Chain A
Amino acid sequence: MAALLLRHVGRHCLRAHFSPQLCIRNWSLPMAMSICHRGTGIALSAGVSLFGMSALLLPGNFESYLELVKSLCLGPALIHTAKFALVFPLMYHTWNGIRHLMWDLGKGLKIPQLYQSGVAVLVLTVLSSMGLAAM
């Protein structure tokens, strides 16, 4: 099911510059998950750097910004969604990272196991993100 969806996406890719890399091949779940792993890694690293830089450069401390956000009186749904969006890349990278470490031990390298562990990682990501965002 996921493979069909990804194949559909790949076929309709219109960017001529990337089409040799993106459009002529059938996208697979392990490939997309591997790209997402690197993408989330870069995003998280940039986030940590930004957090550190803003701690150095911006006035006030973390508590004052937390108070600022609280004083905006945003709806709980919006806050929950924002927390989910923040924690989702972290959880995805963590669970997929554990999958990578399992591969480094030599376990789960057969193709069906790849797909099974991939789906397991996605499910775990969604569940743990929802759990952490609800805290």
Chain B
Amino acid sequence: MAVLWRLSALCSAQGSRALLLQTPVFRPAHISAFLQDRPTPDWCGVQHIHLSLSHHSGSKTACLHWTSERVVSVLLLGRLLAAYLNPCSAMDYSLAATLTLHGHWGFEQVVTMFIGTFGRKLPRQGFWQFQF
């Protein structure tokens, strides 16, 4: 069952790869940071900062991809806990789907880091990985 899910995820990845062809070299740094600076008496709350490096329309897709990756990660965390507490076949299916998607996207990140996106070489990405 897990294998069938994996195969279907691979097929859908081809579709998502076609979308990603429009994106620039770097995944845009869509970082929304909740900054809470030194709280002053008149500080009214949190501040949103959006940084978007790309001007292409494809950046929306890449932003969505980035956000979806995080959402799936959080979902998987919840699923692991829920599957242990409440085993049932519906839980099995959703866990298989979430695990497959998370694993596929994660593997894609590693491959992109060392080999680059479609048609582009990023040989120095491994360098930046070691920098962090």
Contact call A53/B3, Cβ cutoff below 8 A: yes
Interface of A is mostly: helix
Contact call A34/B107, Cβ cutoff below 8 A: no
**CA distance in complex: A104, B32 (Å):** 8
B126 within 8 A of A: yes
Residues of B within 8 A of A94 (CB): 77, 80
Residues of A within 8 A of B99 (CB): 48
Tally of contacts, chain A with chain B, CB under 8 A = 59
A77 within 8 A of B: no
Pick from A38-46, A64-72, A81-89, A120-128 the stretch touching chain B: A38-46
Q: Which of A85-114 contact B (CB under 8 A)?
A: 94, 97-98, 101, 104-107
* Residue in contact with B129 in the complex, picked from A34, A45, A107, CB distance below 8 Å: A34
Contact call A48/B129, Cβ cutoff below 8 A: no
A73 within 8 A of B: no
Residues of A within 8 A of B33 (CB): 105-106
**CA distance in complex: A38, B2 (Å):** 22
Residues of B within 8 A of A56 (CB): 3
**CA distance in complex: A44, B76 (Å):** 14
Contact call B74/A55, Cβ cutoff below 8 A: no
Interface of B is mostly: helix
Least CB distance from A56 to B in Å reads 5
* Residue in contact with B110 in the complex, picked from A21, A41, A49, A105, CB distance below 8 Å: A41
**CA distance in complex: A35, B73 (Å):** 19
Residues of B within 8 A of A31 (CB): 130-132
Question: 1/0 per position for A23-57, CB-CB distance to B under 8 A?
Answer: 00100001100110010011011001101110110
**CA distance in complex: A21, B114 (Å):** 13
Least CB distance from A38 to B in Å reads 5
- Residues in B lying within 8 Å of A, measured CB to CB: 1-3, 6, 31-35, 70, 73-74, 77, 80, 99-100, 103, 106-107, 110, 126-127, 129-132
